[in-house]
Amino acid sequence: SDYTVNELKLDGENTISNDGMSAGALQSYQHEIPKATLTFIDSLSHTPYQWESAKTFVHVAGRGTVQDFTDDIFEISGTSSGVDVNGYSFSASTNESLGDYFNCRWIRTGITILGIEGTDINSGYIDYIGEDTCTNQVLYYFNGNPFYDKFDLH
């Protein structure tokens, strides 16, 4: 593809499919990225970032208010993997479904398990700690140690 933004070129495929209603009357969607590459235009200093992912989105609340998306909640589960700009292989998978509340720009609940091959600390997880409020705060756990962080507001 020829999609470029801020000196980054994105190549890849993206498929979203509607799985219909589950036995519990919940709408479900699949989002698959079989292969994607993000290339820095200045490729002399960076190798491309490559990834693939497969995620399931289940609409668990707010379906009855079509004109009001602020009460919509999706649970997200799935996996992703790839190679970062330094050549390290990584993986991520949801251990507890991620809670995406549409009235909040941040993931509010859930746990993502991380793996990074070839590094001193090669595994850990992210705990999204905003269950009771909309917050940009998370806890990263590596080697059993918590590290508090805030996501930028952009």
Q: What is the pLDDT of residues 36-88, one digit of tens each?
A: 999 888 767 678 899 999 999 999 999 889 899 899 999 999 999 999 988 99
pLDDT of amino acid 154: 58
57 Cβ partners below 8 Å, 6+ apart? 28, 29, 30, 31, 74, 75, 76, 100
Q: How would residue 139 be classed by pLDDT, with cut points 50, 70 and 90? A: very high
Domain layout of the chain by residue ranges: 3-150
The predicted pLDDT at position 7 comes to 83
43-52, 88-97, 104-113: which range is least confident on average?
Answer: 43-52
Length of the chain: 154
pLDDT at residue 32 in the model? 98
pTM of the complete model:
0.86
Residue 1 has pLDDT above 70, yes or no: no
Average pLDDT value for residue range 9-14: 92
Residue 151 — very low, low, confident or very high, per pLDDT cuts 50/70/90? confident
Task: Round the average pLDDT of the chain to a whole number and report it.
Answer: 91
Question: Does residue 132 register a pLDDT over 90?
Answer: no
